[in-house]
Amino acid sequence: MRPIDLASRSGVALRRAFQTQQLCQAAGSRQYSNITSLPPTYEKLHSKYTEVRRVLGAQRLTLAEKILYSHLDNAEESLLNNTNNGRDIRGKANLKLKPDRVNMQDASAQMALLQFMSCNLPQTAIPASIHCDHLIVGSKGADDDLQAGIQTNHEVFDFLESAAKKYGLDFWAPGAGIIHQTVLENYAIPGLMMLGTDSHSPNAGGLSTITIGVGGADAVEALVGAPWELKAPKVLGVRLTGKLSNWASPKDLILHLAGLLTVRGGTGYIVEYSGPGVETLSCTGMATICNMGAEIGATTSIFPYTEASARYLEATRREQAVKNAAAFQNFPGAGASEDAYFRFKADEGAQYDELIEIDLSKLEPHINGPHTPDLSTPLSQFKSTVQEQKWPEKLSAGLIGSCTNSSYEDMTRVESIVRAAEEAGLKPKADFYVTPGSEQIRATLERDGTLQTFEKAGGIVLSNACGPCIGQWKRQDGVEKGTVNAILTSYNRNFRGRNDGNLDTMNFLASPEIVTAMAYAGSTTFNPVTDSLTTPDGKEFKFPAPHGLEGPKTPFDIGKDVFKVASQPPNPNEKVAISPTSERLALLEPFEPFPNSDLSGLKVLVKVSGKCTTDTISAAGPWLKYKGHLPNISANTLNTAVNAETGEVNVAYDLDGSKHTIPELAKLWKERNQPWLVVAEHNYGEGSAREHAALQPRYLGARIIVCKSFARIHETNLKKQGVVPLTLANEQDYDKIAAGDEVATVGLYDMLQNGGKGEVQLKVTKKGTGEEFLVPVKHQVSKDQAGFILAGSALNLLSKSASV
Ligand code: SF4
């Protein structure tokens, strides 16, 4: 890995900024009292940060805390309430945050914008962008695929573009790039806080931002300027020492960490990296690590600002941002102590809730999978594991790139081994696909000859879009659904069916270099570090260890004009394009408010047993296309749930005994104005934070969900949509309630009126016998959430306050 050559570019200011910064850090901050003003974003951040220091006194803070707390609407209120006077914030405080911007991908942006539209505001309160990346199918290659994708999805793209024009949002057309790569290249600036309507939004933590993946309803809160609430996360520290070498790459660090922590290990935590090893990583390498932090369930991940971060900012033509960051870090404001300075790193002595140490020098490549990103195997043991587990030894395809791993460094490291193989006369034995993360990276790789190297080797370059990473992959190799087969990808997620819809495709995650070398072998048991291939003339060929450039020698090429961002002021005359006959988009009708009394006359639609994930409640796959059409997507509601009384999947019985699918019966009851509830077991709503899993039941007439326990995010989502989540005080009461029983609430209305304070019970009347009994239930309704429920939804409340 070689650093970008500063001397060959306009790096004078950058070098000076860093020299200044280093001097400052060595000699103390006093000599920078001549910095008297900051650009507006940092001015605001500094003033908020000063307030946080005032509230918390001498408390040592991690970098994540500095940035997060400096985005509080009211630092004193959030940090001192229920926190032992600020000593016990993590895991306790309710942070009410004001993010700097919102980034949305095309699938999730639809519902976010439909919700925003119902607030009737002329523009968003903070900047936002839309990225058309999820809906393009990868198949034959970039040009054909893009054209086909635009044709199939033009209605959705037209809607998104017209909404961008009306409300003044940045619009990145299909083919411009994948959301996280585009955000890193254009919007990420150290110290910002962003929300992204996608789980891998933390990618931007590689450039020292706090970026959190959220659902559309959360995004709307930020878009209308309301504070966005988050339980203060704990902080998991990862201290890095040493330096990566040979085949080991940043991807291997996160693959290894996922193995250590599992898919739930980061839940409720921000992962913060520190230590001397950080200085050895490229900015894009740090982004890869933060991106895949989503696979351990972390709220987000973050790295300190380093020289590599500054080099990346400059390579992406943001020299001013480098100067601003240096000025900001050296700005004392009115303070005199070291704490007056906002440094993009943790305070000396800051405590982590947990600390993991990793020596990068000892890290070897890892391969994770199949079917879960935390099943991690060191490369040296992979062959024996494949044989023991009887996983396929034939590798069907190698896919590199995506938002996770398509940096200049990744691609030039791959290029080095492809060139070596090409010179030896070798071609990949497995299909080999390359997905550039953005037009900027694609154009730069084309300019510098890297893509041509891949194409010469037989690689297919797909469009700058998600494609095979999100199931948008039309395979050309004849592998049918139901056929067990192995693929290797440098993506981040590998749940069953995610790539090609085939539950029997095993996706193993690895670095782009390992994926590529194994694609040449066409084998999952090949170890490029130790094994050789035979060339066409019978010689032994061993791959050299990969090497590449951290960034291009001259700044990135911005690529074709057609893919440039459309940035515009809001235009109130723009008509948002939604056809009344559309099958893919439908305007939202506000949900009715809570009645001025307790709920009565509810019926149990179905009692479900076992796991009931957000996927069970609102399936993805072919339903993705209806994300902007609530009535149409609601036809999948609970369609893989198990009926606890009969063991049947997706079956519910009407009061007269007639048999229906669950969504059919829900629709019938909606038409009859029959409100309903679902009874369920543990961890209801686990899985991805899919807001449709709350919206759809609400749309179809659900008023409460009663279960043994909830997944936290889904419980919050339900309240935002005006559905009351209640847990059984005595789990055995689950057995007493059945489908068709009538339920009324006792104390619910008073509890809501009292801002979430008070006891609630359910009065159950058995179907058939008319027997009545009371069931005590628990709730976690806060004052704000009581307001959402009473208003009918958070959106109703937001639009009311927005119109005042
Ligand atoms: Fe999500 Fe994959 Fe697209 Fe990245 S490339 S945004 S992980 S679907």
Identify the band that residue 804 occupies on the pLDDT scale cut at 50, 70 and 90: low
Gap from CA of 402 to ligand 1 centroid (Å): 6
Whether 690 is a known active-site residue: answer yes
Confidence of residue 802 (pLDDT cuts 50, 70, 90): low
The pLDDT, as a whole number, for residue 628 is: 95
Asked whether the beta carbons of 337 and 309 are under 8 A apart, the reply is: no
3 state DSSP class of 106: helix
Maximum distance among all Cα pairs of the chain, rounded to whole angstroms = 86
- Ligand 1 closest atom vs CA 493: 7
Q: To test ligand 1's pocket by mutation, which of 178, 181, 197, 500 has the most ligand atoms within 8 angstroms of CB?
A: 178
How remote is the CA of residue 316 from the centroid of ligand 1, in Å?
Answer: 21
Q: Which helix (H) or strand (E) holds 451?
A: helix 450-456
Q: How far is the CA of 620 from the centre of ligand 1 (A)?
A: 15
* Rounded Cα–Cα distance for residues 761 and 584 (Å): 40
For residue 365, CA distances in Å to 140, 215, 223, 368, 600 come to: 30, 34, 41, 10, 59
| pLDDT at residue 34, rounded to an integer | 62
Burial class (CB in 10 A: 0-12, 13-18, 19+), 614: buried
pLDDT at 10 over 50: no
| Cα(790)–Cα(804) distance, integer angstroms | 18
Instruction: Determine the Cα–Cα distance for residues 751 and 757; give it in Å rounded to an integer.
Output: 5
Residue whose CA is at the smallest distance from ligand 1 atom 4: 403
- 129 pLDDT band, cuts 50/70/90, is very high
**Does the active-site annotation cover 337?**
no
Residue 32: per-residue pLDDT? 43
DSSP structural state of residue 9: T
Q: Which amino acid is at 383?
A: K
Strand partners of residue 399 = 433, 489
Query: Helix or strand or coil: residue 706?
Result: strand
CA–chain centroid gap for 698, Å, is 24
Nearest to 288 by CA among 253, 242, 240: 253
Confidence of residue 620 (pLDDT cuts 50, 70, 90): confident
Q: How confident is the model at residue 25 (pLDDT cuts 50, 70, 90)?
A: very low
- Residue by residue, DSSP assigns 381-427 as HHHHHHHHHT--SBEEEEEEETTTB-SHHHHHHHHHHHHHHHHTT--
Residue 134 falls in the annotated catalytic set: yes
The span from the CA of 155 to the CA of 514, in Å, is 39
Type of residue found at 140: K
Ligand 1 centroid to Cα of residue 373, in Å, is 14
Catalytic annotation present for 371: no
| pLDDT category of residue 177 using cuts at 50, 70 and 90 | very high
Pocket test for ligand 1, best of 184, 251, 403, 490 (most atoms within 8 A of CB): 403
18 pLDDT band, cuts 50/70/90, is: very low
| Centroid of chain to Cα 613 | 18
How many other C-beta atoms are found inside a 10 Å radius of the C-beta of residue 575? 9
Give the position, in ligand 1's atom list, of the atom nearest the Cα of 437. 5
Nearest Cα residue to atom 3 of ligand 1: 466
Q: Which of 132, 402, 404 maximizes ligand 1 atoms within 8 Å of its Cβ, making it the mutation to test the pocket?
A: 402
Residue nearest ligand 1's atom 2 by CA? 469
Using alpha carbons, select from 569, 415, 406, 576 the residue that is nearest to residue 491: 406
Active site residue 198: yes
From 135, 180, 211, 400, give the residue whose CB has the most ligand 1 atoms within 8 Å, as the site to mutate: 180
Cis status of the peptide bond prior to 370, with omega within 30 of 0:
yes
* Strand ranges in 494-559 using DSSP code E only, listed in sequence order: 505-509, 533-534, 540-541
pLDDT over 50 (residue 1):
no
Burial status of residue 732 (CB atoms within 10 A of its CB: 0-12, 13-18, 19 or more): exposed
Give Cα 88 distance to the centre of its chain. 28
Choose, from 256, 690, 692, 714, the residue flagged as catalytic. 690
Amino acid making up residue 638: L
What SS3 state is found at 581?
coil
Q: What is the mean pLDDT of the chain?
A: 93
Give the tens place of pLDDT for each residue, 747-785. 999 999 999 999 999 999 999 999 999 999 999 999 999
Instruction: Give the Cα-Cα-Cα angle 136, 258, 89 (nearest 5 degrees).
Output: 100
Q: Is 43 exposed, middle or buried (0-12, 13-18, 19+ CB in 10 A)?
A: middle
Q: Walk across the sheet containing 210-213 and list its strands.
A: 170-172, 128-131, 101-105, 193-196, 210-213
Distance CA 654, CA 174 (A): 45
* Contacts of 749 by beta carbon, 8 Å cutoff, 6+ apart: 594, 595, 596, 597, 598, 599
Q: Which atom number of ligand 1 is nearest to the Cα of residue 180?
A: 6
pLDDT at 3 over 70: no
**Atom 5 (ligand 1): residue with closest C-alpha?**
466
Instruction: Please report which helix (H) or strand (E) contains residue 442, including its range.
Output: helix 439-447
Residue 78 parent element (H or E):
helix 75-80
Specify the residue for token string 């961002």: 565
pLDDT in tens, 652-707: 999 999 999 999 999 999 999 999 999 999 989 987 768 899 999 999 999 999 99
Q: How far is the CA of 198 from the centre of ligand 1 (A)?
A: 8
Q: Which of 491, 494, 495, 498 to mutate to test the pocket of ligand 1 (most atoms within 8 A of CB)?
A: 491
Q: Mind listing the pLDDT tens digit for each residue in 699-751? A: 999 999 999 999 878 898 999 999 999 999 999 999 999 999 999 999 999 99
Answer yes or no: 88 catalytic: no
Burial of 141 (0-12, 13-18, 19+ CB in 10 A): middle
CA of 181 to the centre of ligand 1 (A): 10
Q: Is 18 helix (H, G, I), strand (E, B) or coil?
A: helix
CA 647 from chain centre, in angstroms, equals 34
**534: Cβ–Cβ under 8 A, 6 or more apart, which residues?**
540, 541
Residue 337: how many other CB atoms lie within 10 Å = 10
- Look at the block and give the residue holding tokens 């922590």: 261
Question: Which residue do the tokens 């979430």 mark?
Answer: 756
Number of residues written out for the chain? 804
Ligand 1 mean position, distance from CA 482 (Å):
24
Q: What is the CA(328)–ligand 1 centre distance, in A?
A: 33
Exposure on the CB side of residue 431, measured as CA atoms within 13 A: 20
- 505-541 pLDDT, tens digit per residue, is 999 999 999 999 999 999 999 999 999 999 999 999 9
Q: How far is the CA of 404 from the centre of ligand 1 (A)?
A: 8
Name the pLDDT band for 22 (thresholds 50, 70, 90): very low
How far is 325 from 323, CA to CA, in rounded Å? 5
The model's pTM:
0.90
Choice among 493, 498, 692, 698 that is catalytic: 493
Contact present, 189 and 209 (Cβ < 8 Å): yes
Ligand 1 atom nearest to CA at 105 = 6
- For residue 679, give the 3-state DSSP assignment: strand
Atom of ligand 1 nearest to the CA of 469: 2
Residues with CB under 6 A from ligand 1: 133-134, 178-180, 198, 200, 402-403, 466, 469-470, 491-492
d(CA 172, CA 655): 50
Atom of ligand 1 nearest to the CA of 179: 6
Exactly one of 118, 376, 688, 793 is catalytic; which is it?
688
Measure the CA–CA gap between 442 and 560, rounded to whole angstroms.
10
Q: Are 283 and 206 in contact (CB under 8 A)?
A: yes
- Which residue among 71, 134, 442, 779 is the active-site one? 134
Q: Which of 100, 133, 218, 733 is catalytic?
A: 133
Q: How far is the CA of 661 from the centre of ligand 1 (A)?
A: 32
